Chain A
């Protein structure tokens, strides 16, 4: 017996409101795990934003002494690392968790406990990285950790170790989640939901999982090699021992460029859900959207060396990577035209999610255009390592990913929490964020082309860059205000009654067919799908809106039991890396103990009562 089937009488006790710390520590419900991902990632996002604000204060004036160079290095490294691995990726994971099962009409993900494990490993990995601040030894070598900056010789402290081992921990979380969601999308679709009927967010998330599965092993190897260099005296990246620092760059960017699409494809998916709903038109060019997404992902593995034009790879490599990079503009352009085609002739409803979605298109185009500019090696030689690059990737990651994730938050908030976020505050949030974002990042194009290098803690007054830098800092404070408004909106909304309707936006996809928030078992009856916009089709057939659904009692529905073994296993895995960190002082014994703890957690997980077919004696294995 793999799960608990609830009788009528038990239903209330088991399915009722579960609260308290223990229920969160042991939850395997994809919706709760999604909320955990969201809350944790938003905390890290605010932390990363605070780091950026300190950077902007330092750069507000030339020759400023607000931060010393060492602290500055730590702040920009942790800002980049946090925003990529601890904010944007897990904010996307929040939507994978909460939304994919609902969008495909499933009761949960394929492996609910593995899902909990991913979250706990992510949380502990994020804490591992940030604990470094308490020791005054946060990573300080830049988020892509180029050799030789990372060698023991040039970075003797624990800074790089926090980064190296922390990213290995986070990689485990991403890979486990990658397997889980890949299998979920392939195997748990509702009846009638063929691959080419899946909502676009599910498609883009699915492609993202493939990218994670293929890209993360490469950085894992790079990090392991660096770990051997730093802990065990090898010379993989150390020229004095024959090693090759450029090999690090290749390995890092073979991961790093697909990582860019890991950050943006879920955003594409969110936008592709929101635009049709607020344009009252089906997504334009569905198949083209699917294949352009897949093509972007495929090309994403063949462009990594455009990050390395300045290393002198020679004309053939430069030409190849330049052309492959420019090629990506084509499928991306297909997407942009399809989004505009979706809006064209639609009856546009300008609600807050739509504001963010439309701004996303505009901001992403700007970021995409500057990206095509430094696809040319000659242009890149001028732009590499300047603020022009900083401007470019903030237009795609902030103007792109963060705008889309915020759009998604406003769009799905009522589904997740049963309360509508305030529209008025939402629009204040939008305008502050839109103005603040452009004030902060647009002038960076200009100061970059004028020669201001990135990752330098100050600049001399003679360069004449003060005014633009001051404007950027003002923009950063406006962004702070924007997110303060968002926090206020969340707080204000949390005090309102839980009365959001099931389908506040006249949605097209399955999640709007069930109550807001959904019951623990999601769908009382397994949905059957006949097309790409199942809810619109149902409404059309009915000739009007659907009646408010009832959550049902959940009687007879299989719900996976809570489990604390994912947490124990996650603690074990993290302990291995803590033990490696301490191994120069404490030797190998703590590593062995941590490995033993991991196995202890895994075995109890695999043979857990109520889950494992092996926990019941004899042949009752179904």
Chain B
């Protein structure tokens, strides 16, 4: 996506595309800040269970609902997502040095982590729905699914983006002088990770 203007020398010496992705990330901060605030406001306003960290007995049927949040699986997903930030740095390093093996290997590892994370979230959503937490059930459910769902959508877009980069690298289309394309994707990927670092404690750890 190299348009005319940023191939010329820029006022700051920064690549315009890189500046654009930083700008976009700045804007996205407000997007996720709003979603996280919404979660914090809505969660305690749930009229009925099931709840995040406490069991709930439905007064009508007497049925007992277990706490929704389960830490172990999501911890694995979180760890892999965080490691993927390291992996993509190593992949970018490979791209910049023209080390194709390093590029493909670490980019592949990043993708595997991203795909695992999305898969984990799909499993988790299914699992939670079976435990009785639907989008409509209560405000905890609604705000949980909207927040983590939009984050998951961002991860999915990142996976598609990195997959595109992977295919380009396979076709030997990502030589060192084009490594900035991967760098831009990596900036987005780091951002999506950072957002999860906030969501993980807010949603899963804080009671």
Contact = CB atoms under 8 A, between A and B. Distances in A.
Interface of A: 2-3, 106-114, 175, 178-180, 182-184, 186-189, 193, 213-218, 220-222, 224-225, 228, 232-236, 241-244, 247, 251, 558-560, 605-606, 611-614, 617, 619, 621-622
13 contacts: A2-B4, A3-B3, A108-B4, A108-B5, A109-B5, A110-B20, A179-B23, A186-B19, A187-B6, A214-B27, A218-B31, A251-B38, A560-B3
Contacts of A244: 41-42, 45
B10 to A, nearest CB: 4
A203 B132 CA distance: 53
Contact of A251 (B14, B16, B34, B178): B34
A582 to B, nearest CB: 20
Contacts of B143: 236
A242 B103 CA distance: 50
A109 B178 CA distance: 22
Contacts of B61: none
Contacts of A236: 38, 42, 139, 142-143
A234 B28 CA distance: 24
A147 to B, nearest CB: 13
Given A187-B6, A213-B26, A233 B41 contact: no
B198 to A, nearest CB: 15
Interface string B5-21: 11110111010100110
Given A3-B7, A232-B136, A242-B46, A247 B34 contact: no
Contacts of A247: 38, 41-42
Interface in B97-145: 135-136, 138-139, 142-143
Q: Which 5 A-B pairs have the closest CB atoms?
A: A217-B31, A221-B34, A234-B142, A217-B30, A187-B10
B182 to A, nearest CB: 12
A175 B3 CA distance: 19
B16 A183 contact: yes
Given A183-B16, A233-B135, A244-B41, A621 B178 contact: yes
Contacts of B38: 221, 225, 236, 247, 251
A466 to B, nearest CB: 46
Contacts of B55: none
Contact of B146 (A107, A114, A228, A558): A228
B41 to A, nearest CB: 6
Contacts of B23: 178-179, 182-183, 213
B45 A111 contact: no
Kindly state the interface size class of chain B when it binds its partner: 35 or more
B5 A110 contact: yes
A186 B26 CA distance: 15
A495 B139 CA distance: 62
Given A225-B146, A236-B42, A110 B6 contact: yes
B135 A619 contact: no
B139 A2 contact: no
Nearest to B24: A179
B47 interface: yes
B142 A228 contact: yes
Max count, chain A CB within 10 A of own CB: residue among B4, B12, B47: B4
Contact of B19 (A187, A220, A221): A187
A182 B19 CA distance: 9
Contacts of A605: 1
A241 B139 contact: yes
B10 A188 contact: yes
Given A183-B23, A559-B4, A614-B168, A188 B11 contact: yes
